[in-house]
């Protein structure tokens, strides 16, 4: 008798093969021609929508204008739209006979950072972030996602004679703070609208436009956030001997905690601790009494994650002890958990993407390092799910950067500037083809 592990592997491989064969039931080339024809007629509207959203970014849980724009678009297409769900989220439902329930998600929020692209439609918005006026920018690409989301809905409605079932289009707030998906689930998303049979989401990246990348299994990292308040004793800058300097504590922690990554973790296992913010003091000649440090922790493996979290706690307390300071306040919060793509669904969509995009349909060899709270929908009971990436840059722009020995700006960079038309078109093509495959009649 074969071991159970081998039997499970063979059964799984067989199921994946059957699903992959099912992918050939549709004429992908014909579907793509129909989608492209629809985009030729309607792309100008998507471009204007994208640029409007890009110019008016809204931060997490503040996305009222953005949500209202998307809700209006979906209502015009015939979707039943529920607004302010889980905060500023929207749920748009389109019923088209008996068939599977399919979720398609986009994010709504932008990042608290200044845009430096110089584009004619660049953001100059200043928003409230943690009580302070802060520039806002769609430097993660959620504006591309929203335009592709609307474009996909347009194409599916136009092609409704070719599929059956129910579409559940989710406009999710607060992805950047990893609050939005959990908020929508806690508000009863699946209880009220049904648990999806399939789910899809995409992300634009700094690859060549026209590419689609995907992989079975783990697709992104788990993320946790850290906030440490170091306490000291304030003094005049000329009398440091009278102080306990929390700035020194924060600086020492920032350096010392990296030895947890370089000396305690398996060197072959992915794990990152990044300090992105140290805030302390009000003037150069005053030693303050507190310093607040914020950062992020990324990992794939749960054991690595626990090692990093334990190392952060230990290092923070050791740094305070070295300075004869009071114990620090260490807050470690769970963020987005790793997105895991269903292997069978990935195998089913793989030939679709290959037929549509040829050698630009690329198997991603390793999980991506950024995190995504789309994982919360999967964990809540939507295992048949695929999260994939699309390229955002004109290949000529990438080639020019490489000729200079540089790389094009990536996500979360103030100069991140994907080319809208190829990126949005690719997103609409790929997402529409994937949904048609699981819903096609």
> In whole angstroms, what separates CA 338 from the centre of its chain?
11
Nearest CA to 158 among 43, 72, 77, 46? 77
DSSP assignment string, 300-352: SSHHHHHHHHHHHHHHHHHHHHHTTPPPPEEEEEE-PPPPEE-HHHHHHHHHH
Structure tokens at 256: 């010392």
**Which pLDDT score, from 0 to 100, does residue 280 have?**
97
Distance CA 330, CA 317 (A): 9
Q: Which DSSP category does 241 fall into?
A: G
| Residue bearing tokens 């992105």 | 276
User: What string of DSSP letters covers 12-69?
Assistant: HHHHHHHHHHHGGGS-HHHHHHHHHHHHHHHHHHHHHHHHHHHHS---TT--HHHHHH
> pTM (2 decimals)?
0.82
- What is residue 16's predicted lDDT score, i.e. its pLDDT? 44
What local confidence, expressed as pLDDT, does residue 223 receive? Answer: 85
The pLDDT value given to residue 366:
83
Residue 277 to residue 293: CA distance in whole angstroms: 6
C-alpha to C-alpha distances, 273 to 13, 226, 302, 307, 328, nearest whole angstrom: 37, 9, 15, 11, 18
- β-partners of residue 363 are 214
> In Å, how far from its chain's centre is CA 94?
25
- Calpha distance 265→23 (Å, rounded): 42
Q: How far apart are CA 368 and CA 203, in angstroms?
A: 11
pLDDT given at position 365: 85
- Going edge to edge, which strands form the sheet with 271-280? 271-280, 290-299, 222-231, 329-334
Element (DSSP H or E) covering residue 389: strand 385-393
Question: Do residues 234 and 287 lie in contact, with contact meaning Cβ atoms separated by under 8 Å?
Answer: yes
Query: What is the pLDDT, as a whole number, of residue 411?
Result: 96
Dist CA 287 CA 237 (whole Å): 6
Q: What are the pLDDT tens digits along the chain (441 aa)?
A: 333 333 333 433 444 444 444 444 789 999 999 999 999 999 999 999 999 999 999 999 999 999 999 999 999 999 999 999 999 999 999 999 999 999 999 999 999 999 999 999 999 999 999 999 999 999 999 999 999 999 999 999 999 999 999 999 999 999 999 899 999 999 999 999 999 999 999 999 999 999 999 999 888 888 899 999 999 999 999 999 999 999 999 999 999 999 999 999 999 899 999 999 999 999 999 999 999 999 999 998 888 999 999 999 999 999 999 999 999 999 998 877 888 899 999 999 999 999 999 999 999 888 877 788 999 999 999 989 999 999 999 999 999 999 999 999 999 999 999 999 999 999 999 999 999 999 986
CA-CA distance, 101 to 183, in Å (whole number)? 21
Distances (CA, A) of 363 to 92, 208, 213, 357: 31, 15, 6, 12
Q: Which is nearest to 73 in space by CA: 88, 96, 92? A: 92
DSSP state letters, 179-194: -HHHHHHHTTHHHHH-
The residues, any chain, with a CB within 8 Å of residue 388's CB and separated by 6 or more, are 200, 202, 203, 212, 213, 214, 353, 430, 434
Q: How far apart are CA 229 and CA 291, in angstroms?
A: 6
Cα–Cα distance between 258 and 262 in angstroms, integer?
Answer: 6
The tokens of 308 are what?
């990093």
What is d(CA 275, CA 288) in angstroms, rounded to the nearest whole number? 20
Which residue in 114, 184, 212, 168 sits closest to 426, CA to CA? 212
- ∠13-349-341 over CA atoms, to 5°? 70
Where in 6-56 does DSSP place strands (E)?
none
The alpha-helical segments, DSSP class H, found in 187-289 are 189-193, 246-256, 258-259
Residues 82, 90: Cα–Cα separation, whole Å: 6
pLDDT (0 to 100) of residue 441: 65
The first and second tokens of residue 390, run together, are 């699309």
| Residue matched to tokens 């079932």 | 165
């Amino acid at each position: 008798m074969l071991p159970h592990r081998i039997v499970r592997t063979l059964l799984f491989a067989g199921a994946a093969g059957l699903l992959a064969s099912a992918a050939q039931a549709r004429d992908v080339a014909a579907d793509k021609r129909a989608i492209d024809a629809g985009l030729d007629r309607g792309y100008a509207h998507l471009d204007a929508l994208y640029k409007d959203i890009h110019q008016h970014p809204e931060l997490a849980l503040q996305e009222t204008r953005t949500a209202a724009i998307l809700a209006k678009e979906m209502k015009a297409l015939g979707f039943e739209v529920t607004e302010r769900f889980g905060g500023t989220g929207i749920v748009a439902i389109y019923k088209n006979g008996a068939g599977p329930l399919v979720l398609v998600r986009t994010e709504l929020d932008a990042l608290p950072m200044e845009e430096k692209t110089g584009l004619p439609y660049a953001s100059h918005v200043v928003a409230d972030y943690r009580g302070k006026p802060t520039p806002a920018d769609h430097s993660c690409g959620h504006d591309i996602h929203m335009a592709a989301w609307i474009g996909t809905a347009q194409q599916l409605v136009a092609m409704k004679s070719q599929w059956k079932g129910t579409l559940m289009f989710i406009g999710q707030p607060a992805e950047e703070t990893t609050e939005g998906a959990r908020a929508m689930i806690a508000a009863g998303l699946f209880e009220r609208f049904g648990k999806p049979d399939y789910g899809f989401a995409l992300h634009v990246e700094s690859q060549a436009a026209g590419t689609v990348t995907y992989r079975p299994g783990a697709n992104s990292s788990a993320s946790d956030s850290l906030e440490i308040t170091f306490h000291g004793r304030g003094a005049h800058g000329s009398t440091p001997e009278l102080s306990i300097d929390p700035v020194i504590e924060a600086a020492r922690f920032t350096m010392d905690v990296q030895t947890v990554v370089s000396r305690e973790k398996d060197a072959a296992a992915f794990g990152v601790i990044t300090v992105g913010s140290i805030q302390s003091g009000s003037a150069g000649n005053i030693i303050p009494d507190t310093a607040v440090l914020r950062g992020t922790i990324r990992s794939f493996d749960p054991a690595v994650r626990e090692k990093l979290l334990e190392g952060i706690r230990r290092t923070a307390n050791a740094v305070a002890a070295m300075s004869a300071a009071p114990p620090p306040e260490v807050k470690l919060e769970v963020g987005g958990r790793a997105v895991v793509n269903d292997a069978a669904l990935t195998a089913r969509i793989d030939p679709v993407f290959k037929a549509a995009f040829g050698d630009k349909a690329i198997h991603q060899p390793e999980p991506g390092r950024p995190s995504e709270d789309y994982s919360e929908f999967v964990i809540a009971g939507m295992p048949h799910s695929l999260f994939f990436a699309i390229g955002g840059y004109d290949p000529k722009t990438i080639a020019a950067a490489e000729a200079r020995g540089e790389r094009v700006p990536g996500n979360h960079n103030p100069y991140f500037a994907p080319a809208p038309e190829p990126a949005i078109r690719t997103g609409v093509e790929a997402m529409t083809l994937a949904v048609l495959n699981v819903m096609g009649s």
